[in-house]
Amino acid sequence: MKIFSAAQIKNGDLFTIKNEPIAFVHLMEKAAIACTEFIHHRYLKTQNILIFCGNGNNGGDGLAMARLLYQKGFDVDVFIDKNKKDFSKDAEINYHRLKEFLGIRILDFTDFDESFTNEDTIIIDALFGTGLNRKIEGKMGQLISILNQIQAHKIAIDIPSGVFADKNIPENGVIFKADETLSLQFCKQSFLHPEINLYCGKIHILEIGISKKYIENTETPYYIIDEEFIRKVYKKRKDTSHKGNYGKTCIIAGSFGKIGAAVLATKAALYSGSGLTYILAPKCGYEILQTTCPEAMYLYGGEDFIKNFTVENDFTYGVGPGLGTDYETEEKLMHFLQNYNEPLVLDADALNLISKNLENLKLIPKNSIITPHPKEFSRLFGETKDSFEQLELAKLKAQELKIYIVLKGHHTQIITPEGYVFYNITGNSGLAKGGSGDVLLGIITSFLAQGYTSGNAASFGVWLHGKAADFTAEKYSKEAMLASDVIQHIGEVFKYLQK
Mean pLDDT, residues 21-49: 95
Span 51-83, pLDDT tens digits = 999 999 999 999 999 999 999 999 999 999 998
In this prediction, residue 38 carries a pLDDT of: 98
In this prediction, residue 237 carries a pLDDT of: 93
Q: Give how far the C-alpha of residue 398 lies from the chain's centroid of Cα atoms, to the nearest Å.
A: 19
CA-CA distance, 436 to 192, in Å (whole number)?
Answer: 20
- Adjacency order of strands within the sheet including 75-80: 105-108, 75-80, 48-53, 122-126, 153-157, 180-184, 202-206
Q: Which residues of 269-292 are buried (b: 16+ CB within 10 A; e: fewer)?
A: bbbbbbbbbbbbbbebbbebbeeb
CA-CA distance, 411 to 422, in Å (whole number)?
Answer: 10
Mean pLDDT, residues 349-365: 97
Residues of the chain with CATH 3.40.50.10260: 6-220
Given a contact cutoff of 8 angstroms between Cβ atoms, the answer to whether 220 and 8 are in contact is yes
* DSSP SS3 for 38: helix
Span 423-449, pLDDT tens digits = 999 999 999 999 999 999 999 999 999
Given a contact cutoff of 8 angstroms between Cβ atoms, the answer to whether 229 and 209 are in contact is no
Cβ count near 193 (within 10 Å): 24
Whether pLDDT at 107 is above 60 = yes
Q: Which amino acid is at 300?
A: Y
**Stated length of the chain:** 499
| Helices and strands, number each (H, E), in the chain | 18, 17
Percentage of residues of the chain with pLDDT beyond 70: 98
Cβ count near 336 (within 10 Å): 19
With both helix axes pointing from N to C terminus, report the angle between 57-71 and 24-42 in degrees, rounded to the nearest 10: 50
Given a contact cutoff of 8 angstroms between Cβ atoms, the answer to whether 390 and 374 are in contact is yes
Sequence-separated (6 or more) residues with CB below 8 Å from residue 41: none
Mean pLDDT, residues 368-375: 97
Span 123-133, pLDDT tens digits = 999 999 999 98
Q: For the chain, how long is the longest CA-to-CA vector?
A: 85
Please list the residues that pair with 263 across neighbouring strands: none
CA-CA distance, 267 to 488, in Å (whole number)?
Answer: 9
Q: How confident is the model at residue 173 (pLDDT cuts 50, 70, 90)?
A: confident
pTM of the entire predicted model: 0.95
CATH topology for 6-220 is: Rossmann fold (3.40.50)
Given a contact cutoff of 8 angstroms between Cβ atoms, the answer to whether 440 and 465 are in contact is yes
Mean pLDDT, residues 178-185: 98
Q: How confident is the model at residue 171 (pLDDT cuts 50, 70, 90)?
A: confident
β-pairing, 413-415 vs 404-407, is antiparallel
Span 257-294, pLDDT tens digits = 999 999 999 999 999 999 999 999 988 899 999 999 99
CA-CA distance, 193 to 390, in Å (whole number)?
Answer: 11
In this prediction, residue 458 carries a pLDDT of: 98
Element (H or E) spanning 18, and its range? helix 6-19
Element (H or E) spanning 61, and its range? helix 57-71
Residues of the chain with CATH 3.40.1190.20: 230-498
CA-CA distance, 8 to 3, in Å (whole number)?
Answer: 9
Mean pLDDT, residues 357-379: 97
363 phi and psi angles, rounded to 5 deg: -85, -15
Percentage of residues of the chain with pLDDT beyond 90: 90
CA-CA distance, 177 to 168, in Å (whole number)?
Answer: 15
In this prediction, residue 310 carries a pLDDT of: 67
Instruction: Provide CATH code, domain 230-498.
Output: 3.40.1190.20
Q: How confident is the model at residue 225 (pLDDT cuts 50, 70, 90)?
A: very high
Q: How confident is the model at residue 217 (pLDDT cuts 50, 70, 90)?
A: very high
Q: Give how far the C-alpha of residue 260 lies from the chain's centroid of Cα atoms, to the nearest Å.
A: 28
Whether pLDDT at 353 is above 60 = yes
CA atoms within 13 A on the CB side of 260: 9
In this prediction, residue 309 carries a pLDDT of: 65
Give which of 282, 279, 382 is closest to 328, Cα–Cα: 282
- For the chain, the straight-line distance linking the first and the last C-alpha, in angstroms and rounded, comes to 21
> Following DSSP, what letter does each residue of 446-489 receive, concatenated?
HHHHTT--HHHHHHHHHHHHHHHHHHHHHHH-TTT--HHHHHHT
Whether pLDDT at 87 is above 90 = yes
> Following DSSP, what letter does each residue of 385-418 receive, concatenated?
SSHHHHHHHHHHHHHHHT-EEEE-STT-EEE-TT
Q: How confident is the model at residue 299 (pLDDT cuts 50, 70, 90)?
A: confident
In this prediction, residue 307 carries a pLDDT of: 59
Span 376-419, pLDDT tens digits = 999 999 999 999 999 999 999 999 999 999 999 999 999 999 99
Give which of 373, 495, 362, 384 is closest to 435, Cα–Cα: 373
CA-CA distance, 439 to 269, in Å (whole number)?
Answer: 8
CA-CA distance, 182 to 200, in Å (whole number)?
Answer: 9
Span 300-333, pLDDT tens digits = 655 556 656 667 779 999 999 999 998 888 988 9
CA-CA distance, 275 to 446, in Å (whole number)?
Answer: 8
440 phi and psi angles, rounded to 5 deg: -60, -45
